[in-house]
Structure 1
């Protein structure tokens, strides 16, 4: 715990509500030492592709809404927001076509095995670097703690007055705080790597079903990752100005080994 009038931290007697690691991170954010995460924009979960897919004629992002029929029944539609544009398609058909298009970029088992091989090879190299970094941070943190102890001894011996002690102690404490956060982050990344790789393989192997079963926020972040540039709906199908980033990277690594579920290119084509 932190007491305002005391220059150091005190171990509380009660059971902590959060871990020391969580406290350090929260304290760093509150004191402007680490950037805060911006809140995610909200959207209507009924229309995950709204403001994402573009009209091929006017290049405007499609909007969506509910249209009321003659008998008062409401039907969901995606449509162009430009006045006079005829692009209008039912939500069910539009999202089914998007799923079909997304699935066309789904790598097969051979590609995923290559993906794992590449990532593990890189990881073995990075792993040694991470261990060195962790050891370096631990040494630096130990040095800061020793400097802090020496300052405590000097104030006890009367070498420092209260003002000088607070100035030097606060500066060291801030350095220790940031160094502790840096150390905690490096350990978290190290422990979670294999689980992250497993998760990535699952997502890449199930692009369509992953998008279909995700909530609105995850859907929109996911589709922006797969299609980082403009995505158009034209002639009852989709096309993009840039091949999905992850698949492109796999192709760059070893094109001769990569056989996608659909032929190469920005638009899925029928097998020859």
Structure 2
């Protein structure tokens, strides 16, 4: 039994990773050994403070240690013994080890370790400092070895960081830990990236609302920074990089969600001219709100329900622009939307004429495919040329001793590597001739054949899609004339133009 004045003790346990927490040397094992020690010394254990944090860095950032110090501050009239399993559990950083010892000493606490005896002598303090410095050395060496191994994996084309949203790690015989698609989130993000590249989503705000409204996406609230990460991380294009370790962008071994060419289109749209976000005040009651303009001031009409004296509600569109001659003059919803529906119905080409257009499109598709094959062959030749340029630059780096020259060569190599990735993606992005054209463009053909059917039967999202795909710009509505001549999107403009041509024999 101890004969000193300390009879109360607290236990401090720490692991530096989740794996240690779950293994045999985890928190429970440490607590068990410390309780056995306290029982042998005659201490009454008042509390246990666990931590799941690295041994390096400021001890005041560890929740368990902060709670322990607060516990001691709350009971200044008692002297406590702080028991821990190993000297490395206290701190694996010499500076913070000394700071923590001083913080405990200032609170009247005595420190005891199961495998190290503290002595308040010059020799004892020297030995303690040496052990703390040894722990710091081991931590730094472990960190260096871990980074070296991770860097080597990235250089070989493997993602080594936390699995991004839409992926999970799976251990394989050939690759070890490899990213694989995590459905259904992977398919949802694929739709996001392809939609942003094609212009279906005009802004990050639209992407955010799409994810929050999607029934299969796990998060009902998505932070804007998450959207930025989804759109800018090359891992979704099958690439890996580690700029902090000087590992440039390269092809990865995991399955991409989209092609690198699509990823580049996303970057061009993302960092190009800003797009106006889709209106959030558009409802099922007024699908044309924000799309129909006042013919006088060319500003978007707003819409609302008006209550009559009898208590009955009536829907109206109206101009809210001050100074306009039509300011606050109501337009019946039936008149505005009825005129618009007449325009949409006229977009439908005749069945026979549409068949001729499909035949023309088929021929054009074949020509386009031949051009794509020629372009892919040209891209392959350019890739070989880039490989030759990279080899020459590497040889020049080996012969040069000037840091500035070497840095310039490395920057040029990095740019060439990026150009090579783009060219490879383009050369691999050829549509297979075996795939039927109707299968590839079934939805597009259905839309071109009958946009009115989609407008009449579709929900609000489908109707907004019709507005975006069928018209180049918003339409104007005049109180007397109705809807003025709209500017149709290119496919409908072409169909309408060809449909109005007079038939006749071609000149010999």
Q: Which has the higher relative contact order, 1 or 2, with Cα contacts under 8 A spaced 6 or more apart?
A: 1
Distance (Å, rounded) in 2 between the aligned partners of 1:26 and 1:252: 32
Please state how far the C-alpha of 1:134 moved relative to its aligned partner: 0.9
2:317 is aligned with 1:171: no
Is 1:160–2:160 an aligned residue pair?
no
The whole-number CA distance in structure 2 between the counterparts of 1:24 and 1:241 is 37
Give the conservation status (yes or no) of the 8 Å contact 1:53–1:62: yes
Relative to 1, partners in 2 of residues 1:243 and 1:188: Cα closer, same or farther, differing over 3 Å?
same
User: As a proportion of its length, which structure holds more strand?
Assistant: 2
Are 1:55 and 1:87, in contact at CA under 8 Å, matched by a contact in 2?
no
Seen in structure 2, the aligned counterparts of structure 1 residues 151 and 80 have a Cα distance that, compared at 3 Å, is closer
Answer yes or no: is the 8 Å Cα contact 1:64–1:78 preserved in 2: yes
Q: Are 1:103 and 2:377 an aligned pair?
A: no
> Could you give the per-residue CA deviations for residues 184-206 of structure 1, whole angstroms, max 9, x where no partner exists?
24644635993553332111112
The question of 1:45 aligning with 2:288 is answered: no
Deviating more after overlay: 138-147 vs 193-202: 193-202
Aligned to 1:266: none
> Which residue of structure 2 aligns with residue 210 of structure 1?
454
Going from structure 1 to structure 2, the CA distance change for 1:116 and 1:238 (only over 3 Å counts) comes to same
Contact 1:24 1:177 in 2 (8 A): no
1:129 Cα deviation after fit: 1.6
The one-character-per-residue Cα deviations of 1:153-199 (angstroms, maximum 9, x if unpaired) are 555xx413373344223213213313422442464463599355333
Superposition pairs for residues 23-62 of structure 1, below 5 Å? Answer: 34-36=268-270, 38=274, 41-43=277-279, 44-46=281-283, 47-56=286-295, 59-62=298-301
Unaligned runs of 5+ in 2: 1-147, 161-176, 180-234, 240-255, 504-508
Q: Distance in 1 between matches of 2:360 and 2:265?
A: 36
Q: Give the match for residue 370 of structure 2.
A: 128
Q: How does 1:1-272 map to 2 (within 5 A)?
A: 9-12=155-158, 14-16=177-179, 18=236, 19-20=238-239, 34-36=268-270, 38=274, 41-43=277-279, 44-46=281-283, 47-56=286-295, 59-69=298-308, 75-81=314-320, 82=324, 86-90=329-333, 94-152=336-394, 155=397, 158-161=398-401, 163=403, 164-185=405-426, 187-188=428-429, 190=431, 194=437, 197-212=441-456, 213=458, 215-216=460-461, 219-220=463-464, 222-228=466-472, 230-234=475-479, 238-242=483-487, 245-253=490-498, 255-256=501-502
TM-score (norm 2): 0.40
Structure 1 residues 121, 153: CA separation in 2 closer, same or farther (over 3 Å shift)?
same
* Higher Rg: 2
C-alpha distance in structure 2 between counterparts of 1:10 and 1:70, whole Å: 75
TM-score (norm 1): 0.68
CA distance in 1, matches of 2:259, 2:364: 33
Give secondary structure in 1 for the equivalent of 2:303.
strand
CA contact under 8 A between 2:354 and 2:449: conserved in structure 1?
yes
The number of aligned residues is: 248
Secondary structure in structure 1 of the residue aligned to 2:431: helix
Q: Is the 8 A contact 1:28 1:178 kept in 2?
A: no
Query: C-alpha root-mean-square deviation of aligned residues, in Å?
Result: 4.1
Q: Decide whether the 8 Å contact of 1:141 with 1:176 is kept in 2.
A: no
Secondary structure, counterpart of 1:181 in structure 2: helix
SS in structure 2 opposite 1:54?
Answer: strand
